[in-house]
Amino acid sequence: MTEPMLELKNVKTIVNPGTANETTILKGINLTINDGDFITIVGTNGAGKSTLFNVIGGNLKADTGQIFHAGADIAKTTEEQRTTFLARVFQDPKLGTAPRMTVAENMLLASKRGEKRHLMPRRLKQRMAEFTKLAAQMNNGLENRMTTPTGALSGGQRQALSFLMATLKRPDILLLDEHTAALDPHTARNLLHATNQRITEDHLTALMITHHMEDALKYGNRLIVLKDGQIKADYNAAEKAQLTVDDLYAYFEM
């Protein structure tokens, strides 16, 4: 039997422990993610969505519980160690890219994610055609800005680059942390389309936080409702197809 790509068992996180302000954010999360799952996650502010991603990503340690990647216990591994199999795209387009480096240079850097650094020739010219072809898949003119410093890009182009960089080496796990929230509706729609296409074609395993219920219903093969630090619902593809936006909003009115 194939091991799940990622598994969380009774994961809890506590802030301000031992004080009057002690708060449990994640309250015993149990979640099994299989290879190729594309899971959308919805929940109100404070539900624990970003905390869940921080625990999976390794920049926040779980206070109790276990986390497994392909059967291996990773609960005590660092954020840096997890970059060998995990990538994340944040809400802020400024995160995830080096502003003074060109688009092509950023992509070259991403192509070496998780590798040990050596004093070797960059070989950027040899990979320019490959990177340009990938950039063209974003359908926003990024392929025409390959020698432009990333800091000079539009927000949509910079976020598209962040997404390309995160998926360049086909991570085992891709975390999309409201990666279209800072974009205008048209740009967000284009990036979501490109996101879905790349995840589907490359058979990536991905989790995507979104505040847009329509997007949560449209994309992915599973949908998770997170509320008060707990998973209130976990719908498979068939169940999700029967849901409406009102069904999801009902969880937040309880």
Q: What is the pLDDT of residues 207-240, one digit of tens each?
A: 999 999 999 999 999 999 999 999 999 999 999 9
Same domain for 60 and 117, yes or no, is no
Same domain for 234 and 198, yes or no, is yes
Mean pLDDT of 114-136: 78
Is 223 among the domain residues? yes
Using the predicted structure, report yes or no on whether residue 254 has a pLDDT greater than 90.
no
Q: What is the pLDDT of residues 57-90, one digit of tens each?
A: 999 999 999 999 999 999 999 999 999 999 999 9
Collapsed DSSP state (helix, strand, coil) of residue 213: helix
Is 73 among the domain residues? yes
Is 95 among the domain residues? no
Nearest by Cα to 9 from 30, 34, 37: 30
Q: What is the largest CA-CA distance in the chain?
A: 59
Confidence band for 122, pLDDT divided at 50, 70 and 90? low
* Other Cβ atoms closer than 10 A to 165: 24
What is the DSSP-derived secondary structure letter of residue 121?
-
Same domain for 183 and 73, yes or no, is yes
* Other Cβ atoms closer than 10 A to 248: 19
Number of domains within the chain:
2
Q: What is the pLDDT of residues 9-48, one digit of tens each?
A: 999 999 888 898 889 999 999 999 999 999 999 998 889 9
Same domain for 44 and 118, yes or no, is no
Is 189 among the domain residues? yes
Domain range for 18 is 1-85+171-254
The model carries a pTM of 0.93
Same domain for 18 and 134, yes or no, is no
Question: What's the token pair of residue 1?
Answer: 């039997």
Same domain for 72 and 176, yes or no, is yes
Instruction: Provide the residue count of the chain.
Output: 254
Same domain for 140 and 34, yes or no, is no
Same domain for 175 and 69, yes or no, is yes
| Residue found by looking up tokens 């320019």 in the block | 128
Same domain for 146 and 207, yes or no, is no
Distance CA(231)–CA(214), nearest Å, equals 19
The pLDDT score that the predictor gives to residue 24 is 93
Is 93 among the domain residues? no
Same domain for 246 and 126, yes or no, is no
Residue 247 belongs to domain with CATH number? 3.40.50.300
